Amino acid sequence: MTEYTYPIIFGVVIGTIARLLMLRTDYRQYPTYLHGKLIHVSLGFIAASLGAVAVPAIMELEFTAVTFLTVAATQFREVRNMERNTLTEVDEFELVPRGNTYIEGIAISFESRNYIVIFTAFIGTLFYIVWNVWFAIAGTIICFLLSKVLQSGSTLKDIVDIEHSELTFEGAGLYVDNIYIMNIGLPERQEEILRYGMGFILKPKDMNTITTIANLGQRQAILHDVSVSLGVFRDSGTPALTPLIKRDLDDGRIGVFILPQVREVEKARKIIGAVPVLENAIRMPSKSRTHNKEVN
């Protein structure tokens, strides 16, 4: 037992707890299985150990020891690759795939959460050694709160207005409002689509949003989330029954055509509103200097 034993144990424990708190299984159903969770809790434990041990290393003036944090960085980049590969493999067999942009977003958050764990363990151990256990607990709570804030990005309802709209056929062309979706030739398919389909119009609230919701990955994420939450009326070998999103080129609105099994307009509207805005889809033309010069 040394003076560092308790602080290190404290750091490792709170780091692992932080990882457990961030490992949620929600409607995205991932990771669902026990083994998947075990992998991430174990990696969280390793991350917590690294963060906790870094403090005594610095206190003992072993500055070179900090270089092992780079090993950790490599290790966690590997986590991101692993998640990306697994999800991409599995995605082929989804009725409505997640799409690469969504997968990349999930993979990135797996990596970044490990860094949050390192940081939490580091702060916990540091405060414990410098002051005492109570300060350490207070610091940890602040870290937990921070990680909660960092974890939740914005959702679609913050950036678009969602309106329900009837599906219509003009000849063989399927329309949501005035947005053309696709050509359906067979009358029986058309009937199925009118019976089971639902249409929504997403109106962007500002200039930045137009580009964001036009992103194909973001659109696929909407379709995937809706299909997961409300079910989907389709099967392999029925490509005519494919949920689709098309764009109005004039004003950047998008027309969402979905085939949910639970046909409740309000619920569907809420679910579309709760779709995360993918980090990789966010564009900020309003931050462009040239653009602002022209506007003002």
Residue type for position 86:
T
Q: Write out the two tokens for 68.
A: 């092992």
Separation of alpha carbons 126 and 119, rounded Å:
10
Fill in the per-residue mask, 220 to 239: x = in contact with other proteins (CB under 8 A), - = not in contact: ----------------xxxx
Nearest distance from residue 237's CB to other proteins, in Å?
Answer: 5
Binding-site member from 32, 187, 191, 286 for other proteins (CB under 8 A): 187
3 binds other proteins (CB under 8 A): no
Fill in the per-residue mask, 264 to 283: x = in contact with other proteins (CB under 8 A), - = not in contact: --------------------
Binding-site member from 41, 71, 186, 265 for other proteins (CB under 8 A): 186
Length of the chain equals 296
Q: Which is nearer to other proteins, 129 or 232 (CB)?
A: 232
Nearest distance from residue 100's CB to other proteins, in Å?
Answer: 17
Nearest distance from residue 238's CB to other proteins, in Å?
Answer: 8
User: Phi/psi of residue 233, each to 5°?
Assistant: -90, 80
216 binds other proteins (CB under 8 A): no
Binding-site member from 12, 17, 184, 272 for other proteins (CB under 8 A): 184
User: Phi/psi of residue 27, each to 5°?
Assistant: -60, -20
Nearest distance from residue 168's CB to other proteins, in Å?
Answer: 16
Q: Are 95 and 260 in contact (CB under 8 A)?
A: no
Q: Which is nearer to other proteins, 190 or 208 (CB)?
A: 190
User: Phi/psi of residue 74, each to 5°?
Assistant: -60, -45
Considering only 1-9, 88-96, 186-194, 263-271, which stretch makes contact with other proteins by CB under 8 A? 186-194
240 binds other proteins (CB under 8 A): yes
188 binds other proteins (CB under 8 A): yes
Separation of alpha carbons 170 and 185, rounded Å:
11
Q: Assign 97 to helix, strand or coil.
A: coil
Strands 198-204, 254-258: pairing kind: antiparallel
Considering only 32-40, 43-51, 52-60, 177-185, which stretch makes contact with other proteins by CB under 8 A? 177-185
Q: Give the footprint of other proteins on residues 137-176 (CB under 8 A).
A: 171-172
What are the contacts of 237-241 at 24+ separation with CB within 8 A?
A: 240/184, 240/186, 240/189, 240/193, 241/189, 241/192, 241/193, 241/196
Q: Which is nearer to other proteins, 50 or 241 (CB)?
A: 241
Task: Provide CB contacts within 8 A for 103, sequence distance 6+.
Answer: 83, 84, 87, 88, 91
Q: Assign 218 to helix, strand or coil.
A: helix
Q: Which is nearer to other proteins, 235 or 251 (CB)?
A: 235
Nearest distance from residue 18's CB to other proteins, in Å?
Answer: 45
Q: Which is nearer to other proteins, 188 or 266 (CB)?
A: 188
Q: Which is nearer to other proteins, 3 or 171 (CB)?
A: 171
- Quickly tell me which residue has 């940081």 as its tokens: 119
Quote the DSSP letter at residue 247: E
Residues forming the site for other proteins (CB under 8 A): 171-172, 182-189, 236-240
